[in-house]
Chains A and B, each alone.
Chain A
Amino acid sequence: MKTLIVEDDFTARLVLQQALSRHGECHIAVNGLEAVEAVRMAIEQGDPYNLVCMDVVMPEMDGPAAVWRIRAFEEARGIPPAARTRIVMTTIVEELGGAFQSFRQLWDGYMMKPVDIGELMGHLQGFGLI
């Protein structure tokens, strides 16, 4: 399993990294721009990410904007919905409503922060990744 963690906070990143690196290759991006670039490169190299854990509020480019771009890129490359990268948003309670929900068709799951590893593993099992 190849994972991209998109998270600007060091501590939160550490948790995800520790948990996910046990299941395969694990890359880090610290803002949405880096994430979009990483996903794009992975797809172009023919080795796309199986999972992206995406923070919502980040500098430079926030999570939803990055997800939009990633999905747009996948659409443009003709990747069918079933084959697209799984995206799990990591978020805090007050980001859950409003604008966040209006993009729900774009991501595959979300987790409340601070991240519960049990919940994360639940998502991975749901996606059939572990």
Chain B
Amino acid sequence: MGGSPPFVLSVCESFRREAESLAGTVGFEGTAIRVHPAKCLGRELGWEAILRGCPAQPPFERLCVAGGHCVRRLAATNPDPGRIAICDATQCLYLLAGKTYVDHCQRRGSYVLSPGWLEHWEEHVRGWGFDRDTAPQFFAESMKDLVLLDTGLYPDASGHLNAMADFVRLPASSVPVGLDMFRRWAAELALRWRLDSAGKALTAARAEAQRVRAHAAMVLDLMSRLTDIHSEAEVIQHGLDVCRMLYAPQRAEFKAQAVAEDLPDASWSPDGRGFRIRIRRREADFGTVELEGVAFPEWQDRYLSTALAIAHTMALAISNARGYQALQAERDRYGAATRAKSDFLASMSHEIRTPMNGVIAMIQLLLTTDLSSEQRHYAEVVQTSGRALLALIGDILDLSKVESGKLTLEARDFDVRSTLGDAISMLEVPASAKGLTLSGQTAPEVPALLKGDPLRLRQVLTNLIGNAIKFTERGGIDVRVTLDGETTGASTVRFAVTDTGIGIPRDRIAALFSPFVQAHASTTRKYGGTGLGLAISRRLAELMGGETGVESQEGAGSTFWFTAVLGRPEPEPRHGAQPEAERRGACLPAAGGSLSRRPLRILVAEDDPSGQAVARAQIGKLGYQADMAATAMEAIRAMESGRYGLILMDCHLPDIDGYEATRRIRAAGRTDIPIIALTADAMAGNIDRCMGAGMNGFLSKPVELDQLREALVKWLPVRGAREADRTAPGPAAETAASVFDAPGLLRRLRDDRELAGAVIRGFLQDWPIQLALLSERLTALDAPGTRSQAHRIRGAAACVAAGALSGLGHEMERAAMANDLDSVVALLPRANEEFERLKAALQAAGWPGQNSDLELAT
């Protein structure tokens, strides 16, 4: 504390003697008294005057500036409120006699004086501007007498009092107040300071304890975090922070350069005020941490033990970070590349597909015109190339879907034998067109019912079989399904496709399942195909927990095989437990017991109660369950439950409108759920907004039951409509449809036989293409695409008055609409039969006319 007193009391010079009398008294030990100018004497009282002569750092712990109202205004400019206190007694006289007595005298009309002031009475009175003549008049007007509070410290106090009394012509008396009051007051100030500083010390001690504890916690935290920091720079930074906290060095530094091999793990600098620790781990030497000017070098031992722990932790963390960075970089490179590739492919594929459709359509049109044989040949090459390009794009889309993880497998009960049958019937036509046999056989020990994704399974099978057909010129293809192994609840099933084709050179086998690789460099030109089929097949087999492989002998044929781990089904649910909507099956596209687990509930976002009632009744009548949401937010929340298969969304909701709600649902990743707008205002711009917001369709209010049914049938993502469709008889016109209705065709074409001939010719030529496009959509498991293709086939057949074929197309369209691609596949052989029948009927009737060229079409 440098000998300067901790507590300083500063009083005005009028109280000098009283204050000085305190020195050394009990309770006032270690106190210093200072005197500041008396403002009432016309002296300037500012902080400069008060602090003048106070010792500099540290002058005091607490300075108490005491006085009456003259010190009050100093508070505003207090230069150091932490250490300097203003002690404002309101009137300085209170310090001598107490407030009660002084107030009493003043109320009585006495002019109360302190002895210190009285010593300078003439100075004061003349300073106010009074002289011997004017003073009595002023005092007589406002005072009755003079009262001196005599502290006994001014020997000539009574002389001054008499002189003043004479000057102002007032009676005077003296009250011997002594020093009791003043001392008590001063002692109180000192005590308060002691208590304060004791409290402060306590607080400081507590804060210090907390700080230490916080430091310890931080050090522990940093140490533990070191091991999961993934950047080397951060590890070093944190390591140095820990050192700074523990050792408070003036300088802490990490040096990455290597040091002499024989340097110990920790060593003190020659001056003993710093040390160096090595950061190394096994063979790897990461560098050193050097600390200079540590705070308490006398704690060497303690420092070194913690420093070594830090060094080891840092070394471990740095090696972690490096490993992590390496992995991360690799993953980023790979992930970014894959993602970019998938995104690019997906968007490009779409962009290419649209104009390609136009190209192919125009070529088809071109082929119906009068062309020279050379032109026809060119156009046909363009057509073939275009189709190959479209097939490639479809495959790329598929592969990018698998690679970006967007593909999930279904798990439903199915019969692997019928899956094999489907695959074979899809490819029978191209096989027999090449004169190849196609057979399939399932070993008896393969369970009748398995659980898995039959569509994806069939996709792999058709890929492999299609490949085999492509690369086989004579002989045939045989598919074997065997049991590879069984565990509780799952069977590993092996599918092997053996051909008698060209085989594969041994050195090409390994690369065969990579994208865009075909065994023979020349194969693409000769055999067509995208080179993606095997890559997709391998990915799909992997998704099904299986493997892929090939055994081949060049020139003698190949066997491509894959395995899939398929579950065994749980016991069938009891029929009584079916939901109501399913029991009503006949009138709606309900899911049959084992076919579907998809929700059939419909969410209606509609705020109008009567609108809600209508919707509920209509939806109930159609056999579905409806839940109501009165606001968009409610609807968005309800969506999170995942139980809804479709939303009917009113466009005008009280909180946010249906467009915005749709956008939010879509933005939340629910792109799969159909949202149908309900709008009273069926204006074009409105519908545009619906579509722009991501809605799938719209119904204008008031909604009619038929419209609603149509929308639900179209958009509800359920499977298994075939049960309903099969029981519902088709339109009579279609069941009794003729193979070819020549009179009908001619009537529609106003007896234009030439036009009729051109139409039939075009149709016959187009048919194989359309059927191939259908197979392609089926292979890609694209239900909407299958549906639109079936629709096209149906329309084309109707156009040439081929009623039966058109009806078949209609049947396929309905099945595809209900997501039931199995049924579409089952109808394929019939479609070919019908087409043959049509061709026979046309030929019998002499169509398509004189320049008939049926061979072209077949």
> A residues touching B (Cβ–Cβ < 8 Å)?
8-15, 17-19, 28, 30-31, 33-34, 57-60, 65, 68-69, 71-72, 75, 92-93, 97-99, 102-103, 106, 113-118, 121
Contacts and interface: CB of A to CB of B under 8 A. Distances in A.
Contacts of A92: 794-795, 798
Contact of A14 (B762, B792, B798): B762
A10 B796 contact: yes
B503 to A, nearest CB: 40
A59 B788 contact: yes
B275 to A, nearest CB: 75
B707 A99 contact: yes
Interface in B703-752: 704, 706-707, 709-711, 731, 747-750, 752
Nearest to A121: B750
A38 B467 CA distance: 41
Contacts of B691: 65
A114 B795 contact: yes
A11 B798 CA distance: 9
B811 to A, nearest CB: 13
Given A11-B762, A114-B795, A103 B685 contact: no
Contacts of B710: 97-99
A18 B755 contact: yes
Contacts of B700: 102
A114 B94 CA distance: 117
B766 interface: yes
23 contacts: A10-B796, A11-B796, A11-B799, A12-B795, A14-B762, A14-B799, A18-B759, A58-B788, A59-B357, A68-B688, A72-B685, A75-B684, A75-B685, A97-B707, A98-B709, A99-B699, A99-B711, A102-B682, A102-B707, A113-B798, A114-B748, A114-B795, A117-B750
Interface in B774-797: 785, 788, 791-792, 794-796
B599 interface: no
A11 B759 contact: yes
Given A14-B368, A60-B354, A117 B795 contact: no
State the majority secondary structure of interface residues on B.
helix
B358 interface: yes
State the majority secondary structure of interface residues on A.
helix
B355 to A, nearest CB: 10
A18 to B, nearest CB: 5
Contacts of A93: 731
Contact of A114 (B704, B711, B798): B798
B801 interface: yes
B585 interface: no
B791 A57 contact: yes
Interface string B111-136: 00000000000000000000000000
Interface in B797-846: 798-801
B707 A98 contact: yes
A14 B361 contact: no
Given A99-B711, A103-B682, A117 B748 contact: yes
Interface string B676-692: 00000010110110010
A19 B749 CA distance: 8
B365 interface: yes
Contacts of B801: 114
B27 interface: no
A113 B792 CA distance: 12
Contacts of A103: 682
A15 B760 CA distance: 10
Contacts of A102: 682, 699-700, 707
A15 B759 contact: yes
Most buried by B among A18, A71, A121: A18
B697 interface: yes
Interface of B: 354, 357-358, 361-362, 364-365, 368, 682, 684-685, 687-688, 691, 697-700, 704, 706-707, 709-711, 731, 747-750, 752, 755, 758-759, 762-763, 766, 770, 785, 788, 791-792, 794-796, 798-801
A59 B706 CA distance: 24
Given A98-B711, A99-B707, A10 B684 contact: no
A34 B800 contact: no
Contacts of A65: 687, 691
A122 to B, nearest CB: 11
Given A68-B684, A115-B748, A15 B365 contact: no
Contact of B799 (A57, A69, A113): A113
B749 A72 contact: no
Given A10-B364, A117-B748, A118-B748, A68 B687 contact: yes
Contacts of B799: 9, 11-12, 14-15, 113-115
Given A10-B365, A97-B710, A102-B700, A116 B795 contact: no
A30 B358 contact: yes
B441 to A, nearest CB: 39
Given A11-B763, A18-B752, 9 more contacts: A9-B792, A13-B361, A13-B365, A14-B368, A72-B685, A102-B699, A117-B748, A117-B749, A118-B747
B354 A116 contact: no
A14 B758 CA distance: 8
B699 A30 contact: no
A8 B604 CA distance: 34
A34 B358 contact: yes
B688 A69 contact: yes
A30 B711 contact: no
A84 B46 CA distance: 93
Nearest to A117: B750
A55 to B, nearest CB: 8
B684 A72 contact: yes
A31 B785 CA distance: 14
Contacts of A117: 748-750, 752
Nearest to A58: B788
A30 B360 CA distance: 11
Contact of A69 (B354, B684, B785): B684
Nearest to A29: B358
Most buried by A among B358, B684, B759, B800: B684
A12 B748 CA distance: 12
A11 B766 contact: yes
Nearest to A19: B755
Nearest to A73: B684
A72 B795 contact: no
Contact of B361 (A10, A106, A114): A10
A27 to B, nearest CB: 12
A102 B707 CA distance: 9
A19 B759 CA distance: 11
Contacts of B354: 33, 60
Contact of A30 (B361, B704, B758): B361
Contacts of B792: 8-9
Contacts of A58: 788
A72 B699 CA distance: 18
A31 to B, nearest CB: 8
A13 B354 CA distance: 18
A34 B357 CA distance: 11
